[in-house]
Amino acid sequence: MSFMEKLRGQLIDIVEFLDESRDTIVWRFPRQGNEIKNQAKLVVREGQAAVFVSEGRLADVFGPGTYTLETKNLPILSTLQGWKHGFSSPFKAEVYFVATRQFTDLTWGTQNPVILRDPELGPVRLRAFGTYALRVVDPAALLRQLVGTDPQFRTDEIGDYFRSLVVGQLGPALAEAGVAAIDLAANQREISGRLAGQLTEDLAEYGVAVPRFVLENVSFPPEVEAALDKRAQMAVVGNLDQYTKFQTATAIEAAAANPGGAGEGLGTGAGLGMGMAMGQQMAQTLAPAPAGAAPAAPAAAAPAGPPPLPTAEAPWYWAADGAQAGPGTTADVAGLVRTGELGRETLVWQQGMAAWTPAGQVPALAPHFAATPPPLPPSAGPSTGSVG
């Protein structure tokens, strides 16, 4: 073996890049004086591309594979170098390895809300966030437009710029979707696909594509969310007339269970009447007008005057021969006690009582039994004689 053959064997080198960072897009192969040895081995793995730059000009781009760096493998570079010796001496060039795999789970979000005109809600402010993926499809364009001479170009160097592009396209994409803001969740996949295509078109000059774009969430301001919750509650209620009647009945039942809560000077009967009147008025107010009917005129103001006198007391009911009798006043019950038609064990009931109760155990009726004389003995009967 000649001296020159031994020298060439010592100059053979391997040019390759093993990425351990998972976020490096472009990496420049370190070489003293940018000198590539004669017959060096270039190893380009799957998901990579190697770009040669000579004297500041982009020369050749290599895809995955193993190459022996000879003149026949570097036609553009050999022309730029002006080799006259058949690539028998070292040459100077820079080698950039470009990752062509997908960079996933890159995040984006709206720092400020996007204002849209919603077909149902009118102008609304929306915030959104999600993820996207990047992939280099034109290594040469990426080096020309973004990388330059950066020896290690990472995803965080373009993250802010790409996020601004995403936010810039978000508003038009949501507007062009033509769906209500509350229906965006059902159309997220379609909107995400439209955004991915638009962003790929915008980034084509940089040699970058967006193969996947995910719109994870769209949110409203807190006050709009509160209004939507109230609207959902109204939808759950459904028929407001029936709901009002139900609420009125519930209030009446609660008042019956607590007769003392009606307030001083207002009897239970008056509270019942007022509750029913209020319920009817609310039902009439909330009931929808018949089709074609003219809008109702505002009700005339009620004439000034004192309110009606409250009912003195609630009526009494009592058991008679296994059936319910009544209603009657306390005076009526006292008369029945005096005639013996209603005794201490007779069951009675008045609004506010939890159940039918023997009359003698009701505090309001007990005094009438105390003042009632006992029945006459059988021997005593009406006198048949006359008084002289």
Q: Is residue 305 part of a domain?
A: no
**CATH code, domain with 322:** 3.30.1490
Q: Do 254 and 367 reside in the same domain of the chain?
A: yes
Question: Dihedral of CA 182/187/189/190: which sign?
Answer: negative
Q: Do 243 and 172 reside in the same domain of the chain?
A: no
Count structural domains, the chain: 3
Q: Do 152 and 106 reside in the same domain of the chain?
A: yes
Q: Residue 193 belongs to what domain range?
A: 102-224
Q: Is residue 276 part of a domain?
A: no
Q: Is residue 335 part of a domain?
A: yes
Q: Do 251 and 211 reside in the same domain of the chain?
A: no
Q: Is residue 289 part of a domain?
A: no
Q: Is residue 185 part of a domain?
A: yes
pLDDT truncated to tens, each residue of the chain (388 aa)? 454 444 444 444 788 888 888 888 899 888 655 567 667 788 999 999 999 887 778 878 899 999 887 655 565 555 555 544 444 445 667 889 999 999 887 888 887 787 877 777 778 888 888 888 989 999 988 888 888 777 888 888 777 777 788 878 877 777 777 777 777 777 888 888 888 888 888 888 889 999 998 888 888 778 777 777 777 776 766 666 776 777 787 788 777 776 555 444 444 455 555 555 555 665 565 555 555 555 555 555 555 666 655 555 789 898 888 888 888 888 888 888 888 888 888 999 998 888 889 988 888 888 888 755 666 677 655 554 444 3
Q: Do 61 and 119 reside in the same domain of the chain?
A: no
Q: Do 89 and 111 reside in the same domain of the chain?
A: no
> 52, 82, 99 — which closes off a domain?
99
**CATH code, domain with 198:** 3.30.479.30
Separation of alpha carbons 214 and 106, rounded Å: 10
On whether the CB atoms of residues 114 and 129 are closer than 8 A, the answer is no
Helix 156-177 crosses helix 188-202 at what angle (to 10 degrees)? Answer: 130
User: What's the pTM?
Assistant: 0.51
Q: Do 119 and 79 reside in the same domain of the chain?
A: no
Peptide bond connecting 151 to the previous residue in cis, omega within 30 degrees of 0: no
Give the model's pLDDT for residue 174: 75
- Nearest Cα to 219, choosing from 130, 126, 129? 126
> 99, 118, 147 — which closes off a domain?
99
Give the model's pLDDT for residue 165: 81
Q: Is residue 282 part of a domain?
A: no
Q: Is residue 107 part of a domain?
A: yes
Q: Is residue 154 part of a domain?
A: yes
On whether the CB atoms of residues 121 and 180 are closer than 8 A, the answer is yes
> 53, 74, 99 — which closes off a domain?
99
Q: Do 87 and 157 reside in the same domain of the chain?
A: no
Q: Do 220 and 253 reside in the same domain of the chain?
A: no
**CB 302: neighbour CB atoms within 10 A?**
6
On whether the CB atoms of residues 195 and 172 are closer than 8 A, the answer is no
Give the model's pLDDT for residue 87: 45
Give the model's pLDDT for residue 98: 92
Q: Do 246 and 191 reside in the same domain of the chain?
A: no
Q: Do 107 and 26 reside in the same domain of the chain?
A: no
Q: Do 85 and 127 reside in the same domain of the chain?
A: no
